[in-house]
Amino acid sequence: MTYFLAIVFVLMSLLLMFVVLIQRGRGGGLVGAFGGGGGGSAFGSKTGDVFTTVTVILFIIFLLLAVWLNLRMQPAGPAPAAAAPTPPAAGAPAPVTSKP
């Protein structure tokens, strides 16, 4: 499940970068870099509002995935302390140890 979430997280990151680059900002965005018109948008006149909404939704999903993955990647808790060896019961043979 963690690997699936990591793949979705990477794809969400790429999609978010793509949507942000497509948007038209003060400098014209990536659309202007490819020779787009100065006043018009490559995707229509109302796409600015749509891209803003899509960006906000993708960012919220991105943030939730980041938190979820962070929680899933954390260790479950402190490792249990090693139990002290129990002494052999009375009358039991001593454990065999090899001599170096």
Domain that holds residue 15: 2-34+45-73
97 belongs to a structural domain: no
pLDDT, tens digit (0-9, with 9 covering 90-100), for 50-96: 888 888 999 999 999 999 999 888 776 666 666 677 776 777 776 67
Nearest to 24 by CA among 52, 59, 57: 52
> Which one has a higher pLDDT value, 79 or 49?
49
Number of domains the chain contains: 1
pLDDT of residue 27: 55
Most confident of 6-10, 35-39, 96-100: 6-10
Percent of the chain topping pLDDT 70: 62
